[in-house]
Amino acid sequence: MNWYLAVLKNYAGFSGRARRKEYWMFTLISFGISLVLSIIGGAIDASFLSYIYTLAILIPSLAVGVRRLHDTGRSGWWLLIALVPLVGAIILIVFLASEGKPETNEHGVNPKLAPQGI
């Protein structure tokens, strides 16, 4: 849960780098919350709950995705490749799942070596 909260605290921070664990834990917890809200919304006939949550985490999701791409040495603009049907999503998942660059790059120091406080 700390990884999820750390992303929310850095709500619109598009600079820097994010570790794989930070990105994927945020994605997993967000998916779980969205799933629970969808089930609750379906049970009480209020499907808008999951839509409100999705809208609320849109900016943090984009920000952590950009920081994750920065960790792999890529520009954040690579997120737009997801707009290409199927192939773009597969390429983006490979980029997001790949190991970050161990050395300092133009986006900052390796987040594994930086103090986390988590």
Nearest C-alpha neighbor of 58 from the set 92, 12, 97? 12
* pLDDT tens digit sequence for 66-109: 999 999 999 999 999 999 999 999 999 999 999 998 888 899 88
Domain count, the chain: 1
* pLDDT tens digit sequence for 16-48: 999 999 999 999 999 999 999 999 999 998 889
Q: What is the pTM of this model?
A: 0.89
Can you tell me the distance from the alpha carbon of 45 to that of 25, in angstroms, rounded to the nearest whole number?
29
Q: Does any domain span residue 21?
A: yes
| HSE-CB of 6 using CA atoms within 13 angstroms | 18
Q: Does any domain span residue 113?
A: no
Can you tell me the distance from the alpha carbon of 111 to that of 118, in angstroms, rounded to the nearest whole number?
12
Tell me the residue range of the domain where 44 lies. 2-97
For the beta carbon of residue 9, count every other beta carbon within 10 angstroms: 9
